[in-house]
Amino acid sequence: MVLNYNDIKEGDAIPAYTSQPITRTHLVRYAGASGDFNPLHHDDTFIKKIGMERIIAHGMLIMGIAGEAVTAWIDKKNLRKFNVRFLGMTEPADLHDMENTKKRATITVTGKVVKKFEENGEKRIQCDIIAQDANSGRKLTGYFIAALP
């Protein structure tokens, strides 16, 4: 499906995107893929040392999931700007207690078109986005700008 500038209105929702419950294995995979080996994201002994309870997901994994949400809707090559502010930490689900912990680790990205404008000879849209877990905990807010035909 090709999105056209003329078919989009301010206020239009972008399609919601929901992640799988994030597990420690997802964090390990992201650490290796990205090169971000901050022990905060995998080492329980470091977590104890700094007085936290559990390891947390990389903020950049949540932004990466938001990037998947964005590019499920618009082509990656049309993206001109992508900005997020991190608001809350994400603790992975515990495998021995998925039922009670999967909600905190399941991320849904939603958003809407807030602006249509022309810039640098291109027709562009700006969309606000927000990522939240299934307990309504806010993880990040931000926006992206895309050029459309």
Partner 1 sequence: MADKSKLGMEFPPYVIEVEKAKIAEFAMAVSQKNDKEQINPIYAKSEAAKKAGYSGIPVPPTFPTSFMFWTGGGLMGIVNSLGINLGRLLHGEEEYEYFGEVCAGDVITGKMKVAKMFDKEKKDKPGKFMEFTLLETEMRNQRGELVIKARTTLVER
In this structure, the dihedral spanned by the alpha carbons of residues 22, 133, 138 and 95, taken in order and rounded to 10 degrees, is -40
Per CB under 8 A, the list member of 30, 90, 104, 111 interacting with partner 1 is 30
Sole window of 4-12, 35-43, 92-100, 111-119 interacting with partner 1 (rule: CB under 8 A):
35-43
- Report the distance separating Cα 109 and Cα 116, nearest Å: 21
Cβ–Cβ under 8 Å, residues 102 and 20: no
Residues in the chain: 149
The verdict on 103 binding partner 1 (CB under 8 A) reads: no
DSSP-derived secondary structure letter, 75: -
Cβ within 8 Å of residue 74, ≥6 positions away: 3, 146, 148
* Position among 9, 10, 15, 20 found at the interface with partner 1 (CB under 8 A): 20
Binding mask of the shown chain, residues 57 to 76, with x at each position contacting partner 1 by CB under 8 A:
-xxxx-xxx-xx-xx---xx
Q: Which of 8, 14, 24, 26 binds partner 1 (CB under 8 A)?
A: 26
Q: Kindly list the residues in this chain that would bind partner 1 in the complex (CB under 8 A).
A: 19-20, 22, 26, 29-30, 32-40, 49-50, 58-61, 63-65, 67-68, 70-71, 75-77, 79-86
